[in-house]
Amino acid sequence: MKRGRKFPGNAAIWSGGLIVAAFIAVGIFAPYVAPWDPLKVNLEVKLAGPSPEYPFGTDQMGRDILSRLMYGTRSSLFYSAAVLGATLAVSIPVGIAAGYIGGKVDHIIMRLIDILLAFPSLILSLAITGMLGPGLLNLLLAFASVWWAGYARLIRGMVLQIKEEDYITAARAGGATHLQIVLRHVLPHALSPIIVLASVEIGTIILSVSGLSFLGLGAQPPTPEWGAMLNDSRPYMQTDPQLMLFPGLTVMIVVLGFNLVGEGLRRTLRGTG
């Protein structure tokens, strides 16, 4: 019975993991598997429907949609992963410092976090990107400078619970330094929930990156990126719906994959999978 309860979580991890692994593989090997150059303009075949030569059709510039989606995997996944990595690089030490040290350090950090969380994250990221200027690098900086606050708050809460455990008291009694306690006990016990949170949130990050690219603040033409492709196809939504359909489905499938992995990890670690 115990194995039966865990199976749905494992199934979600496997199915989501296969989707994610497939997209990562496509992004890595895009130069070898893409049928066309994603930047090649051929106005003679612009807005062509799906065919054996162009399986997903072509866009308004005659560029192959399938090839642009494959290369767009690189931009969308790489920058989303970079946003997540930068966010964790800031939030983990800040959250641990607030929860473990406490006192004035905790008070100052939490007031800063409260200020940042008073604004909707996406709106604040949009404002920062607008000030920095369009571009994927500026988009990365904008997201990382805002999203760390929510993560740090959750990590602080976990650390507050962990540092009251008996094994932390035993480590202190054994003469372990604060740094040793954090590295050997606090961080390892907080790591599993952080991994689950990150695996769930990466889908939200992909949607947010694509959303700001859709608004023209992310990838700039002619860079192939899913949100930018959706933006370029808006004028042709009624006459050539495949221009929006395939990028939209791509975003939906990859976000579904990450969500399945995150949900599966959550269920498995809680023992309710």
Cis ω for the linkage preceding 222 (within 30 of 0):
yes
> What are the tokens at 48?
């062509």
> What are the tokens at 37?
């150059």
The size of the chain, in residues, is 273
Predicted pLDDT at 9: 58
Pick the CATH number of 2-270 from 3.40.309.10, 1.20.1080.10, 1.10.287.180, 1.10.3720.10: 1.10.3720.10
Whether the predicted pLDDT of 8 surpasses 60: no
- Range of weakest confidence among 88-92, 122-126, 160-164, 224-228: 122-126
* Residues in CB range of 35: below 8 A, 6 or more apart: 54, 55, 64, 66, 67
Asked if residue 20 lies in contact with residue 253, where contact means CB atoms within 8 angstroms, the answer is no
**Domain boundaries along the sequence of the chain:** 2-270
> What are the tokens at 34?
């893409």
178-182: long-range contacts, CB 8 A cutoff, minimum separation 24: 178/100, 182/96, 182/100
Give the integer Cα–Cα distance in Å for 242 and 110: 47
More confident residue, 38 or 175: 38
Asked if residue 126 lies in contact with residue 139, where contact means CB atoms within 8 angstroms, the answer is no
- HSE value, Cβ hemisphere, 13 Å, CA-based, for 239: 9
- Range of weakest confidence among 28-42, 144-158, 191-205: 191-205
Q: How confident is the model at residue 119 (pLDDT cuts 50, 70, 90)?
A: confident
